[in-house]
Amino acid sequence: MNDTSPKGLPTMNATCLTRWLFDPLALRCAAIAWLAGAALHGFTADAPSIGNRHIRVALQRDGHLTLAEPGAGQPFATLAWPSEGAARPVVTPFRDARLGSGQRLTVTRADGRQDAVFVLAEQPFAFFQSTLKNGGASPAVTNRVPYPALALNLGVPAADLTTLGSGGLLKLDKNPGSYMWSAVADPATRRGVVAGWISTDRGSGIVRLESGDGGVRLLPHLDFGRLPLAPGQEEPLEMFAVGLFGDARLGLEAYADLIAARYAIRLPPMPTVHCTWYVDGASRESVLSNRTDFAAKALKPFGLGVMQIDDGWQLGHSTNGPKKVFIGHNPDGPYPSGMKAMADTIRRAGFTPGLWLIPFAGSSDDPWFADKRDWFAKKPDGRPFDTRWGGTCFDLTRADTQAYLKEVIHTLTHAWGYRYLKLDGLYTGASINLNYICDTFREDEIGQAVLADPAVTQIEMMRNSLSLVRATAGPEVFLLGCCTPQNMRSAGAAYGLVHAMRIGPDNGAAWSSLLRGPEYGAWNYFLHGRVWYNDPDPLYARPALPLEQARAICSWVALSGQMNSSSEEYAALPPERLDLLKRTMPSITADTNIVSRPVDLFENRVPGIWLAAGRATERLPRRRVAGLFNWESAEKRFDVPLAALDLPEAGAHIAFDLWSNALTPPFQGRLVHTLRPQSCAVLAVRPVLDRPQLIATSRHITQGLIDVTAERWEAATRTLSGVSETVAGDRYELRILTYTGDSATPGRPARGFVVESAGITGANGYELTVAPGDGLAARPDDAYSNANTPDAPITTLHEPAVEEGLVRVAFTSGSGGPVAWRVTFSERPATAAAVTR
């Protein structure tokens, strides 16, 4: 995009800044100019610097600004600080109400523009922020503002580095740029630089990368489209952060934490959702009523919470994408009794009603809008701003259009009772074009929309509109944005204003489409649970999908902790496929002690190794569940150093393989596993101890991470005990490792333990105890019931089942809830024959 402004208005100095940013010769000239300026102002070795225990920023004698780790011999980033005609740099205290306190180094140019870099006390980033000033006597407009280019030095040849951004994992020469953020890392060590825009109030942040002469340059800029400045007006721009991390994944997570702090993000609990779209479009009144009733019995106890209706319920006429009159329902459509009636049916079943809409656009060819054409944004030639599929963008700087949007949202949420909204076509809120599928940076027509209030930028209009939706809907309504690949500018524009975001394109129940979730979900994993909840689109369990593929996508959603939605006719699923869905619910994201990350984020475009780990607490040991995913169509061998799984390389480890329903052989130093094409393994990994320990449970794909709330070994009584959250009527199995590590051969388990008895105590205080050979013990949960009372909840406990190195204790809680369990072992060791060697 050329840096141009509307005719008759002078352009701010963005043109010369763009040349300075993108022209290597100009960059060298800028350095020379700064050197001359430094001499003029008398900059010496005592020139200003700022820093903390993580990072130091210093203005060097040659006029360059350097970013380095304290005590490091070489900076990891160097930039030519804009200086022509600038006053001497000033260091001042700095405080941001949400980000904290620190120091700021500011240069003021002759034209009034300020360029500042600041460091906060406990943040591992250097922050950059510029402030424009129109020092002229006439109004001025600019559309693009570059920030200083950073030359990176990671001590690794550029050819050996890889980049991660909104377009995924790419080599430097294949990366045209990223929206909002980017990382440059050494895949061998994960050491790398993380950079990103932490605010997006009026401008759209871009991070471009450039390689040449063996080096790497980071090129950030802001696109406003049309940023007007009145004479004398000052405009603080967006904040940009840069930091170096030993593990760039932690840098990405720290970046997301900054955004969450900047916008005071507090996310509500993440729902588990049924979406009608991929099973029967908008569905129909009778069909969805029956599906809701079935789901209430079969899946609600496991965590399903929302029944969401998709496109097809609304009024309108359209030749360009969906119909777009959302103020009422189609009386001849799928819900003849009305949308309120359907919401009431869903709510009576115990679910939250959800509804899809495109809030920020209409259809200029729809007769309903014939007398409302002033509501639409315009193109420069005066025609309505039509976009492909999304329709005609509203001019949401107009009071009457805002009033209509408010009326729509109020109708859906307050009059009809929908407490979950799926907001599609988000990009139309900024009056920009559809770029689907958009992930890497593309030049577009931002700035071409003609709005009633030209002082409002297009990004600002989208944020204002989302704020209006939130305020109208109220704090009890959950907002899902959809979807960033329609135009990636909508991602940053939605920071802090939606609770969840569709982070990838539409998927489907075919393998190639299913991969979109694991692909985009990995690239954006660090935003999940911090900025919003990542929605990778539904998982699938239908019989048309091969079982190993269904297990793979369900396991990925469960292990990654990302938003769990499904789009199935539940009653038509075979029991084993319905059970597969149950084992994905709820999400591990609800437990803040559990962290899930892709292990090979900087190695594979679709990472094939995930680790979900629960932090050690007073009640629980540290727990780790590794997911190995073969996304390819050929067999794959995994050979993973244990250090990559945050495990010590010394000492023996063992795992329970969920889908094989068996222990793996012990391993040390490395985890080696071979997978069939398009399949996965979910491994609960434990170090081998000198006593029994819980290794897995049957409740959830994460094998105990979400359901086990306590585990304890009492050496004096040789008893392993704990507490598990259970679902009423659902068979629950404890898988207890009896391998021990007292072999004469280092790292090789040699002895087991013999189980003596097992017992449980339910929420009602009643106890059941069995020993091997006792068979099944059972009792009613209600003291006033007996085995002959109709529908009385019954709790059962099976005698322990002993295998080589493993004891299985299964029970079913009639009422569900917390169940305390205990397994006591005899003093006699198991015979050598009872242990796998």
Encoding tokens for residue 318? 């359209």
276 plus 186 within the same structural domain: no
Q: Is residue 531 part of a domain?
A: yes
> Are 384 and 472 part of one and the same domain?
yes
In a domain, 747, yes or no: yes
Specify whether the backbone of 553 is left (phi greater than 0), alpha (psi in -120 to 50) or beta. Answer: alpha
**What local confidence, expressed as pLDDT, does residue 787 receive?**
56
Q: What digits encode the pLDDT tens for the residues 276-287?
A: 999 999 999 999
Q: 693-697 and 776-780: which strand pairing?
A: unpaired
Let me know whether 434 and 467 are in one domain. Answer: yes
E strands along 460-512, which residues? 478-481, 500-502
- pLDDT value, residue 790: 72
Calculate what percentage of the chain has a pLDDT beyond 90: 85
> Residue 657: inside a domain, yes or no?
no
Give the end of a domain, one of 228, 262, 296: 262
Q: Based on the domain organization, do 129 and 39 belong to the same domain?
A: yes
Q: Of the candidates 556, 577, 598, which is a domain's last residue?
A: 577
Region 235-258: what's the mean pLDDT? 99
Element (H, E) at 21: helix 14-22
| Token representation of residue 637 | 């061998």
What is the sign of the dihedral through the CA atoms of 438, 442, 445 and 446?
positive
Number of domains comprising the chain: 3
Residue 114 sits in a domain whose CATH number is 2.70.98
Q: Which residue type occupies 131?
A: T
Going by C-alpha positions, the residue among 398, 488, 481 that lies closest to residue 200 is 488
**pLDDT of 2 above 90:** no
- Residues 424-438 have a mean pLDDT of 97
Same domain, 404 and 538: yes
Looking at every residue in the chain, the average pLDDT score rounds to 92
Q: Is residue 677 part of a domain?
A: no
Residues 233 and 355 in one domain: no
- Tell me if 676 is assigned to some domain: no
Question: Is residue 768 over pLDDT 60?
Answer: yes
Are 163 and 210 contained in the same domain? yes
40-53 pLDDT, tens per residue? 333 334 568 999 99
Q: What is the DSSP string of 658-721?
A: TTTTEEPPPB-SEEEEEE-TTEEEEEEEEE--SS-EEEEESSSTTTTTTTEEEEEEETTTTEEE
- The answer to whether position 587 is within a domain reads no
pLDDT of residue 13: 39
Coarse DSSP helix, strand, coil percentages of the chain, rounded to the nearest 5 percent: 20, 35, 45
**The predicted structure's pLDDT at residue 214:** 73
Both 70 and 186 in one domain: the answer is: yes
If asked whether residues 708 and 726 sit together in one domain, one would say yes
Q: Distance (Å, rounded) from C-alpha 620 to C-alpha 614?
A: 9
Q: Which residue has the higher pLDDT, 742 or 801?
A: 801
Average the pLDDT over 232-245 and give the result: 98
Write out pLDDT tens, residues 151-177.
999 999 999 999 999 999 999 999 999
Q: Residue 212: pLDDT above 90?
A: no
Q: Is residue 710 part of a domain?
A: yes
E strand residue ranges, 186-333: 192-197, 204-212, 215-229, 234-236, 240-245, 272-275, 304-309, 314-315, 325-329
Same domain, 282 and 240: no
Helix (H) or strand (E) holding 248: helix 248-262
Which residues partner with 725 through β-bridges? 818
- CB atoms inside a 10 Å sphere around CB 783: 10
Among 520, 546, 577, the domain boundary falls at: 577
| Residues 747/834, Cβ–Cβ less than 8 Å | no
pLDDT at residue 182 greater than cutoff 90: yes
Place of tokens 């903390």: 52
* pLDDT reported for residue 829: 57
Same domain? For 146 and 290 the reply is: no
Cα 44 → chain centroid: 46
pLDDT tens for residues 825-834?
987 655 433 3
- The domain containing residue 781 runs over which residues? 692-837
Q: Provide mean pLDDT across the span 571-599.
A: 95
pLDDT category at 738 given cuts 50, 70, 90 is: very high
Q: What is the DSSP string of 382-416?
A: SSB-EETTTEEEB-TTSHHHHHHHHHHHHIIIIIS
Q: Is residue 569 part of a domain?
A: yes
Asked whether residue 714 falls in the same domain as residue 785, the answer is: yes
Predicted confidence at residue 29, as pLDDT, reads 39
Confidence of residue 86 (pLDDT cuts 50, 70, 90): confident
Q: Residue 464 belongs to a domain with what CATH number?
A: 3.20.20.70
What's the confidence (pLDDT) of residue 791? 78
> Residue for token digits 């407490």?
419
Q: Omega of the bond prior to 271 within 30 degrees of 0, cis?
A: no
